[in-house]
Amino acid sequence: MQKIKLITFDLDDTFWDIGPVIINAELSTRKWLEEKVGEVDWGNMESFLALRKELAEKDPSLYWDLGKLRREIFRVKLAPVTSGENELKELVEESFNYFLDKRHEIIFYDGVIEALEDLATRYDLGVLTNGNADINKLNIGEYFKFSVSSVDVKSNKPDKGHFQKALDLSGCEANEVLHIGDHQINDVVGALDSGMKAIWFNKDKIDWEQKLSKPAEISNWYNYKIIDEMA
């Protein structure tokens, strides 16, 4: 078996639970904004998702550039309560920065830091994320050789962009890389289709729904030692 030299990781829902983080960031930013400009018509979830779809259909880069998408949503929602383009532009940027700060208020799953500290002593580590979390804002940047986001490769996993970029940055062959993530398609299928090995992070112990054989899996970061068995 080819020796594993590089381990790459997804972030959201692999190192922390993203749902509560985004809800808190959304609600906190709305409250902060309304204290500045008054009531804003945010709409309901259905209209919010419809707006996202409408914006992305006009500008396909918004499918993979979440920062740009978030700014465009703020632009649409804040235009009726601002006095002109200069005020709108400034407020959009302030809103995005506030949201992004809140987006980084995460709680790591138990065992994540201990696992990274240990694994970094034996393997090169990297990040492959469709999100916009910055590992250096989370005080884990020291463990990683690189971090690749969708903006960097102008596509989302499971497309090959992230995985090929990892090979380019590391100089590894695909069969020397192990990817770990929670998403059955974006992480596991994407990695396997790129010739890498994969471990499924299955915290909630849900059923495997893909046609290919279920990969090795872990349900918490205290049983990460399975990585050494695969390496």
Q: Averaged over 221-227, what is the pLDDT?
A: 90
The CA distance from 129 to 176, in Å, is: 19
- Flag whether pLDDT at 2 surpasses 80: no
Q: Contact, 166 vs 144, CB < 8 A?
A: no
Residue percentage of the chain with pLDDT more than 90: 94
With tokens 């694994």, the residue in question is 119
For residue 230, what pLDDT is reported?
Answer: 77
**What pLDDT, in 10s, does the model give residues 53-85?**
999 999 999 999 999 999 999 999 999 999 889
Question: Buried b / exposed e across 31-70, counting CB within 10 Å, b at 16+?
Answer: eebeeeeeeeeeeeeeeeeebbeebbeeeeebbbbbebbb
User: What domains does the chain contain, in order, with CATH numbers?
Assistant: 6-16+107-230 (3.40.50.1000), 19-103 (1.20.120.1600)
- For the beta sheet containing 177-181, the strands, ordered from the edge strand earlier in sequence to the opposite edge, are 146-149, 124-129, 6-9, 177-181, 197-201, 216-218
